[in-house]
Structure 1
Amino acid sequence: MCFRIASKLHVVISGHDAIRHALVTRADDFSSRKVPPTTAYIRGDGTSSKAAKGVLFAEYGPDWRQQRRFALKTLRDFGVGKRSLEGKIYEEAAALSQELVAKDGQPFNIKPLLQNSVSNIICSIVFGKRFEYGDPEFLRIITLLNNLVDSKPGRDILVNIHPVFRHIPFVSQEEKKLTKNTLEMQEFCSQQVQQHRETFDHNDIRDFIDAFLLEQRHAGGDQARNGFTDKQLQEVLLDLFLAGTETTSTAIGWALFDMLLYPDIQEKVHQEIDSVLGQAVPSYALRDKMPYTTATLAEVQRINTILPYSVPHATSTDTTLNGYSIPEDAIILVNLWSVHMDPQLFPEPDKFNPDRFLDQDGNFTKHPALISFSIGPRVCLGEQLARMELFVLFVSLMQRFTFQLPEGAPALSTPGKMTSLINMPQPYELCAVSRG
């Protein structure tokens, strides 16, 4: 279907076959992105044509390929997909567990602690260090991230229709908050870059920032043409934080939410973890020996699609899809929810059932229609990192705690709430009861 916001055409693609045809078979036509005018105004210099776009909002083409290739290589160099990163994830899991033990079984909202843990993993890769949970600077950054994610998209739409609407008082107030939060995040990233530049040693590349600075030196005076500018680094860092923190922490939040809803499934996960791991340190490599736990996480991602319509794409040329003509620069909304809730692909889609991801021998089996991280060239840059984080953090928590609803708490509300692009659980409290 299609609709217009003012003069801007938006096309919604639903169904697994149509989505795969557009994003994989016809990737060159459907893999671009457009920076929303509000974002361009805040993150750039007020004009969308000159705004730095990082990786997330970059147009499909050679510049984007270069930046994505560099980011993927650098993430791999610093442990993504390797056991070296698992140690950092487990370090965060241990710190998180200490916080939960201190709650002494009392009700609390776990969301801030999950954000701290996931954000710290990003920090270890990007900045080469983690922060203590009580660090005032770290808490400020988490608050800024929350404010950016919680921005009200309905009001942004007016400014995206025409910049003149930013002079309307209630729109102006919302945009001022968004601008303030973004500028403070940019300033934090700039400070980190400056600190790295002052201590840079090309023989000791410590993290993502150092790797980017090294690439800058290789470019010499041709940084702008090669895309390795300070502004580009700042925008990539913002992308990694925004995309990497909220989505993964939300996925873990949904996993614990579902364990509260289905204590029988939580018990099966506990039994498998006890039989395979005991008290040993969780390892991503052991997921094949823990098929029920792996299937449970797959079902969490299916039934609670984190990005129901992905990050919007755009057409890079006039094109067609299934007989329909779609013009260049149309905004493409990829309806991942329609795939994950399709009864032809997932019978009884409203039922939480990890068994749908197990074969007759009880082994985990991938389902080609589970596309939580999207598909095609724009598949999530941090997919491998997110999968490791989700598995190791979830298993670590389940190994040590039983999660229960507080006594007398109201029934959980299963429909999530949309905040910006993200489908989050309704706010809830839980009790983490130590198993040992």
Structure 2
Amino acid sequence: MSTLLLAACVCLMTYWYLQTPRNLPPGPWAWPVLGNIPLFMKSKFDFFPDTITDLAWQYGDVMTFWNARDLNVVISGYRTIRSVLVKRAEDFSSRKAPPVLVDLRGDGTARDTTKGIIFADFGSDWKHQRKFAMKTLRDFGVGKRSLEGKICEEAAALSQELVAKDGEPFNTKPLLQNSVSNIICSIVFGKRFEYGDPEFLWLSHLISEVVNATPGKDILINIHPVFRHLPFGSQEHQKLARNFPKLQAFCGEQIKKHRATFDPNDIRDFIDAFLLEHQHAGREHAQYSFTVEQLQELVLDLFMAGAETTATSLHWALLYMLLNPGVQEKVQGEIDSVLGQAVPSYSLRDKMPYTTATLAEVQRINTVAPFSVPHSLSTGASLNGYTIPAGANILVNLWSVHMDPQLFPEPDKFNPDRFLDQDGNFVKHEALIPFSVGPRVCLGEQLARMEIFLLFVSLLQRFTFKPPEGVTNLSTIGTMTGIVNAPRPYDLCALPRQ
């Protein structure tokens, strides 16, 4: 029996070796079948981005690791990342949707993988969709004063919820998610929801469940897709499979309502703008990607890309205010001197350098998407003398940039002053890239910046945030849920300012 087992192991290792692509970038030794899963499971680090960045110091700015049978190439370091994503964008700007999303978005054909915009292939369809989405977001106020009113309206609603807490400890994350989701709803659906609306609470919960699902944690599925049909081997897969169709149905119903009341002379929101483009596309075959099915997935992408990440950025910002009361006091002093009790304005951020620097430091020290959304290659490519095969996952290690002591001295120290010059003016650092770089830079970057600034300023204008009495063990070590680096759950007290 032992001889047969040994022979089977030898055959398995031989097969694995013969199947492994040649001339890959260096990386830690990988087990057959399991890859580097055992290494990560016994890692001395509690936080995956730290582990990967430590390995990058050992193996270089281009390194390989295996998640069971999935090949991952990690690109680290500011110069290397910019070189790959900007100078070689045509090679490295594709995306590969998780298999579970391919299944849920269609019949699994190559055509279905282009639905939406986050995971769409890098090509003409994607470029048309992104150009349309950017233009439409601008038309509905992103980067303009017209959207500020909606954000500040949401800030006022959020503040009322905080006042109702009467200074008692609570977790702000659900309320932050509601606020950010409502801003997206106002752009996409043309309306906001009351926080207690059951439909809205259900929508916010679904978005969180989908974004926080991590199919990569399903070890057996990574070994072989057949395990996705076994309950004990596919918990994250089943979470996506259960919740994603519900989100699709919700967005589909909103689109159906819009189509029934559509007036080409009265474009109310993002959905109407797409329906108008869809109408034009019927006359221009070149724009065939503007389908109703595509609209449904694009709306979903706007929520998945924007709601959780922005809310998480604000959640980190409030945590650092608890841990740094001197910074909070200084931010409030600047708000008082520039705004007083006036409604915040994004145009005044240049007059609020310390506040701007504080938010920049929050985005640096705990990057919300430390690996961005993984890239991929449609065809093989060479990089630094190594061969990167088609289909490999490309992880852009933004964490390695923001925690690089050569770029940001004492990177573990929370220090907004690093973004100020000797005269106290805000200085933009080229290596601060929380939204990534290149053609795939976050679609909602400008919207997220507006939301984070205006909501943060509104909250600190009205409240002082403190930890609950006796709480001294707040942690700044995040936890990875999906692609998002989120704070560990914590409570705070929101005390109205006089």
TM over 0.5: yes
Q: 1:173 to 1:302 in 2, by over 3 A?
A: closer
1:8 to 59, 63, 70: 70
1:334-385 CA-partner distances (Å, limit 9, x unpaired): 0000000000000000000000000111000100000000000000000000
Find the counterpart in structure 1 of residue 23 from structure 2.
none
How well do the aligned residues superpose, as a CA RMSD in angstroms? 1.5
Q: Which residue of 1 aligns with 2:485?
A: 423
Deviation at 1:315, TM superposition (A): 2.0
**Alignment correspondent of 2:10:** none
Match of 2:60 in 1: none
CA shift at 1:229, angstroms?
A: 1.0
Contact 1:44 1:52 in 2 (8 A): no
**Hey, what's the Cα distance between the residues in 2 that align with 1:136 and 1:130?**
13
Is 2:377 aligned against 1:315? yes
Report SS of the residue matched to 1:313: coil
CA distance in 2, matches of 1:388, 1:139: 24
Whether 1:302 aligns to 2:302 is no
Match runs of 1:340-419 below 5 Å: 340-419=402-481
Structure 1 contact 37–159 (Cα < 8 Å) conserved: no
Alpha-carbon shift at residue 221 of structure 1 (Å):
6.5
Residue 158 of structure 1: how far off its partner (Å): 3.7
2:115 to 46, 49, 53: 53
Find out whether 1:218 has 2:268 as its counterpart: no
Does 2:189 correspond to 1:127?
yes
Which of the residues 17, 23, 26 maps onto 2:79? 17
Distance 1:188 1:278 in 2: 41
Partners in 2 of 1:161 and 1:37 — Cα distance? 13
Deviation at 1:148, TM superposition (A): 1.2
Work out the CA distance in 2 between the residues paired with 1:30 and 1:391: 32
Give the number of equivalent residue pairs. 436
Q: Secondary structure at the match of 1:2?
A: strand
1:66 aligns with 2:154: no
Provide closer, same or farther for how the CA distance between residues 157 and 214 of structure 1 changes in structure 2, counting only shifts above 3 A: farther
- Matched with 1:41 is 103
CA distance in 1, matches of 2:160, 2:183: 17
Structure 1: runs of 5 or more not aligned: none
SS at match of 1:134: coil
1:254 counterpart residue number: 316
Q: Deviations over 1:5-50 (max 9, x none)?
A: 3443210001001001000111111111011111111222345553
Higher mean C-alpha deviation, range 40-49 or range 335-344? 40-49
How far the C-alpha of 1:270 sits from its partner, in A, is 0.8
Q: Is the 8 A contact 1:120 1:130 kept in 2?
A: yes
**In 1, Cα distance between the equivalents of 2:336 and 2:239?**
47
Contact 1:216 1:223 in 2 (8 A): no
Q: Post-superposition shift, 1:225?
A: 5.8
Are 1:114 and 2:176 matched, yes or no? Answer: yes
Which of 140, 151, 159 in structure 2 is aligned with 1:89? 151
Does the alignment pair 1:105 with 2:157? no
Q: Deviations over 1:376-405 (max 9, x none)?
A: 000000000000000000000000000000
Shift of residue 155, structure 1, vs aligned partner = 4.0
Q: CA deviation at 1:107?
A: 0.5
CA–CA distance in 2 between the matches of 1:46 and 1:179? Answer: 14
The Cα shift of 1:222 comes to 6.3
Which of residues 371, 374, 389 in structure 2 aligns to 1:327?
Answer: 389
The two structures have a TM-score, normalised by structure 2, of 0.85
The equivalent of 2:400 in structure 1 is 338
CA distance in 2 between counterparts of 1:235 and 1:107 reads: 38
The aligned counterpart of 1:241 is: 303
Determine the C-alpha separation between the residues in 2 that align with 1:351 and 1:281: 32
2:259 equivalent to 1:197: yes
Deviates more, 1:42-51 or 1:305-314: 42-51
Separation (CA, whole Å) in 1 of partners of 2:113 and 2:106: 4
User: In terms of mean alpha carbon deviation, does 271-280 or 172-181 score higher?
Assistant: 172-181
TM-score, normalising length: structure 1? 0.97
What's the offset of the Cα at 1:325? 2.2
- Residues in 1 aligned to 2:485 and 2:334: alpha-carbon distance in whole angstroms: 29
Measure how far apart 1:320 and its partner are. Answer: 2.1
Alpha-carbon distance, 1:253 to partner: 0.4
Instruction: Give the structure 1 partner of residue 342 of structure 2.
Output: 280
Which of the residues 196, 201, 206 maps onto 2:268? 206
Relative contact order higher in (CA < 8 Å, ≥ 6 apart): 1
Partner of 2:47: none
Moved more, 32-41 or 347-356: 32-41
SS of match in other structure, 1:105? coil
Which of 169, 182, 186 does residue 248 from structure 2 map onto?
186
Specify which of 199, 205, 209 is matched with residue 137 of structure 1: 199
Please say if residues 188 and 271 of structure 2, whose CA atoms lie closer than 8 Å, have aligned partners that are also in contact: yes
Pair 1:435 & 2:497 matched: yes
SS of aligned partner of 1:332: strand
